[in-house]
Amino acid sequence: MVSADSGPTLRECVRCVLASTVSLELILIDNASRDGVPAAIERAYAHDARLKVIYNHRNLGFGPAVNLAAKQANGPALLVLNPDCVLREDDLPRLLALLASRPKAGLIGAVVCDADGRPDPASWRRDPLLQRSLNSMFDRPGEKVNVEREIPAEVIEAEAVSGAVMLLPRAMFQRLGGFDEDYFLHCEDLDLCRRVRDLGYQVLLAGDIRVKHGKGSSSRHRPVFVSRYKHRGMWRWFRQHDPSARKPWLAAAVWLGIWTHFLLQIPGQLWRLLRR
């Protein structure tokens, strides 16, 4: 679990994980938070040997922080969990049982939902290839990045799932080399899912496991910072995985479009931040 000024939702997330009856260790790695919450959690659970808190003196980014924490993990499976997700008592046992029953499962996600139980469309995604991304951006007919259908309450194969809840064998994580650390924030989950599939393994979505997700608790107070790295991640994913990137003129147009979109969003982001 990576925190970065994640606020009080982190307390509830940790409480629910440590309330599990599953044999586990919780590695909380903090990216230079200034809210004091990780230290308060460490004091509150000082008696619980299952919790380990690692403090970084600067923000390493999401993927690098997960990689650092994973090196200290001992279990056969790794759960990457956002600090604003709230697991129910049976969520983790069910995810682990699913992983054990599917030998070709390289990565398993869950449906992340808002406080009213509405699924986040990012729970079930396709690779963000250029045509799909344009269809999504301009709401055009055709395949979009998010699968615009009701998520069935069963296990389904997906191209990508939300990085808020990702379970995978530790051996698979090590084989992949963990997250690509050139993604600072955003799109590293899409990249990981793609690399799992490139190895011939399945990315699965447990459609019957719904996890409450606060979404964005670490980013609301610094929207431009987060948006910058989101757009940077989009550019990196495009260069790595999209065949369109092989055409120099098209790659140049995509680069210009991505960073123009970033700049156009800044005024609205700053205005919303000021109003809050």
Q: What span, in angstroms and rounded, lies between the C-alpha atoms of 185 and 225?
A: 10
pLDDT of 215: 65
Q: What span, in angstroms and rounded, lies between the C-alpha atoms of 73 and 46?
A: 19
pLDDT of 136: 95
> In the chain, what are the domain boundaries?
2-213, 223-275
pLDDT of 269: 85
The number of residues in the chain equals 276
Pick from 233, 238, 230, 232: which is nearest to 254 by CA?
238
pLDDT of 41: 97
Q: What span, in angstroms and rounded, lies between the C-alpha atoms of 192 and 128?
A: 13
pLDDT tens per residue, the chain (276 residues)? 999 999 889 999 999 999 999 999 999 999 999 999 999 999 999 999 999 999 999 999 999 999 999 999 999 999 999 999 999 999 999 999 999 999 999 999 999 999 889 999 999 999 999 999 999 999 999 999 999 999 999 999 999 999 999 999 999 999 999 999 999 989 999 999 999 999 999 999 999 999 998 865 555 678 899 999 999 999 999 999 999 999 999 999 999 999 999 999 999 888 888 887
Q: What span, in angstroms and rounded, lies between the C-alpha atoms of 152 and 116?
A: 18
pLDDT of 123: 96
Q: What span, in angstroms and rounded, lies between the C-alpha atoms of 81 and 12?
A: 13
Distance of CA 222 to the CA centre of its chain: 18
pLDDT of 252: 97
Please, is 215 exposed, middle or buried when counting C-beta atoms within 10 Å of its C-beta (0-12, 13-18, 19+)? buried
pLDDT of 272: 84
pLDDT of 271: 87
**Helix orientation angle between 248-275 and 223-241, rounded to the nearest 10 degrees:** 160
User: How many CB atoms sit inside 10 A of residue 266's CB?
Assistant: 13
Helices (H), the chain: 9-18, 37-44, 62-70, 91-101, 130-138, 170-176, 188-198, 223-241, 248-275
Q: Residue by residue, what is the 3-state secondary structure of 91-108?
A: HHHHHHHHHHHCCCEEEE
User: How many CB atoms sit inside 10 A of residue 199's CB?
Assistant: 10
Q: Which CATH architecture has domain 2-213?
A: Alpha-Beta Complex (3.90)
